[in-house]
Amino acid sequence: MEKYSIGIDFGTLSARAVLVNVKNGKILSESEFIYPHGVIEESMPDGTLLPEGFSLQHPEDYLDALKKVIPELLKNTGVERSQIVGIGTDFTSSTMLSVLENGTPLCFLPEYKNNPFAYAILWKHHASQKAADRINLIAKKTNQPWLDNFGGKISSEWGIPKLLQIYQENREIYDRMSVWIEAADWIVWMLTGIESHSYSTMEFKTIWDQQTGFPTKDFFRKVEAGFEEKVIDKLGKNFLPVAAKAGGLTAKMAEMTGLSEGTPVSTGMVDAYASLPAVGIDQPGKMLLIVGTSVCEILVGKEEIFQGCVEKQRMVFCPDSLPMKEHNQLVVIYWHGLSIIAVVKST
C-alpha cells in the first residue's frame, strides 16, 4: 500500500497544503484556504484604529485552515487516513503569539478580543523598531558574542523585539501570557497537544543557540529593567531539532481533520528553510532565491560570509553546513512591458 505525507504552508494571506507520495515525491493533490480575517493592519474588531507599523493576524484562521485543507486533500484523492504517515508544517516567521499555559491565544479570551497585542503579531509588524534599536544598542555596547551570528543586527521583525515592545507598551498582556511562541510552533502544539519549539524558529529569530542558549539575564536587564525577570521563562520549553517528531495527532485534531489519532507530526519550520530540500539543495555552495511577500537569499556554506541582517542555523538535512538567510529589498523596474527584478541587499 502506498504511503503519503501532508505538508501545510501557512503564509501571509492563506494556507496551502499538498498530499505527497513519500516514495517518489509526486504531489497528488493541493488545497488552499484564504484567511477570512486576512492581515489586520488598519483597525481592531471594535473599530479602534491601529498605530502605524502594526500587522496582525487572527490565529483562528490557522485552525480553520486545518479543518478545510486536510479533509479536502483526502476527498480529492481517495487516499485512506491509514496511508498518511506524517504531517509537516511551515510558517511565515517571525509570526508570534502570546498564549496561556495550555496554548490558548490571549485573543480568544473575551477581555482581550480588542487588544492588538493579544493577536498573532505578523512577521511584517514593524512597530517594534524602537525595541529592536534598543536591543542592538545594548548588544553592541556590551560586545555580545551572539550578535555576530545575526550579521551584527537584530531585526524588528523577530521575536525578542516584539516581546520587548509588549513589555514596554502593554504590561497586562505581558504578565498574562505564559508562553511567547512562534506560530510555526504553536500550530504543532495544537496538532499534538504538546508544547515544543523547533530549532528552526529558535535559532532563526529568537536569539537562541544550541550550545549557549539565550542571552544572559544581565543583558536583558540592561535592555530594560525588569525585563530579565521572566523573559526566558516565557520563551518556552522542549526545544527540538528540525524534522524531529514533535508528537502524534490528538483525538480532537484527528476528528477535525479526518486523519488517524497518533499520526506523526514533525516540528514546525520557518517557511524559507523548508524550501531548501524541496528544491534539491543539500550541500554547501548552493544558493536559493525566494521571491514572495518578502524576498530573501539562502546560501548554504561552512563559513559566515554575510554582513547585515542575517540569520544562521544548523540544519538536519545539511548537518555540517550553515544555511544563512538575508532579507533584501526588491526593486521591480518596468521596461517596455517587461518586469526586470533586481535584488538589493539590506543594510
- Cβ burial, residue 196 (10 Å; 0-12/13-18/19+): buried
Are the beta carbons of 117 and 173 closer than 8 angstroms?
A: yes
The residue ranking higher by pLDDT, 178 or 334, is 178
Where does the pLDDT of residue 46 fall: very low under 50, low under 70, confident under 90, or very high at 90 and above?
confident
pLDDT of 274 above 70: yes
Are the beta carbons of 263 and 248 closer than 8 angstroms?
A: yes
What average pLDDT does this structure show over 283-291?
Answer: 78
All residues at 6 or more sequence positions from 142 whose CB lies less than 8 Å from its CB, including other chains: 219, 222
Worst-scoring range by mean pLDDT, 63-72, 140-149, 203-212, 231-240? 203-212
pLDDT of 235 above 60: yes
What average pLDDT does this structure show over 138-143?
Answer: 98
Nearest to 242 by CA among 318, 128, 302, 191: 318
pLDDT of 330 above 50: no
In this predicted structure, what is the pLDDT of residue 229?
97
- The rounded distance, in Å, linking the Cα atoms of 329 and 50 is 25
In this predicted structure, what is the pLDDT of residue 273?
80
In this predicted structure, what is the pLDDT of residue 152?
86
pLDDT of 345 above 80: no
Q: What is the DSSP letter of 180?
A: E
What average pLDDT does this structure show over 81-105?
Answer: 96
pLDDT of 271 above 90: no
Share of the chain above pLDDT 90, in %: 70
Where does the pLDDT of residue 303 fall: very low under 50, low under 70, confident under 90, or very high at 90 and above?
low
pLDDT of 104 above 80: yes
pLDDT of 347 above 70: no
All residues at 6 or more sequence positions from 14 whose CB lies less than 8 Å from its CB, including other chains: 32, 33, 34, 35, 65
Q: What separation in angstroms does the CA of 58 have from each of 165, 313, 342?
A: 19, 29, 33
